Amino acid sequence: MAFFTHRIVLGFGLALLPVANALAAECPAPKALTFTVEKKITRSATGYTQGLEFRDGKLYESTGRTEGETRLNTIGLDGQVTVLADLGTSVFGEGLTVLDNQVFQLTWLENVVFVYDLDGRELRRMENPHGGWGLASDGKNLLFTDGEGLLRYADPKTFEITREVPLRSAGGVPPTALNELEYVDGKLYGNIYTTDWIVRVDPDSGCVEATADMSPLRDIITPGEADAIAASYENVLNGIARDPATGEFYITGKRWPMIYVGRFNEPK
Pairing assessment for the beta strands 31-42 and 208-213 based on DSSP bridges: parallel
Each domain of the chain, given as residue ranges in start order, spans: 22-265
User: pTM here?
Assistant: 0.90
Q: Is 8 exposed, middle or buried (0-12, 13-18, 19+ CB in 10 A)?
A: middle
pLDDT digits (tens, 9 = 90+) for 178-193: 999 999 999 999 999 9
Measured distance CA(103)–CA(83) in Å, rounded: 14
- Tens of pLDDT along the chain (268 residues) come to 554 433 344 444 333 333 333 344 589 999 999 999 999 999 999 999 999 999 999 999 999 986 678 999 999 999 999 999 999 988 999 999 999 999 999 999 999 999 999 999 999 999 999 999 999 999 999 999 999 999 999 999 999 999 999 999 987 777 889 999 999 999 999 999 999 999 999 999 999 999 999 999 999 999 999 999 999 999 999 999 999 999 999 999 999 999 999 999 999 8
Measured distance CA(198)–CA(97) in Å, rounded: 18
Q: What pLDDT shows up at residue 146?
A: 94
Q: Is 92 exposed, middle or buried (0-12, 13-18, 19+ CB in 10 A)?
A: buried
Domain 22-265: assigned CATH number: 2.120.10.30
Q: What pLDDT shows up at residue 69?
A: 85
- Strands of the sheet containing 135-137, edge to edge, are 135-137, 142-144, 150-154, 161-166
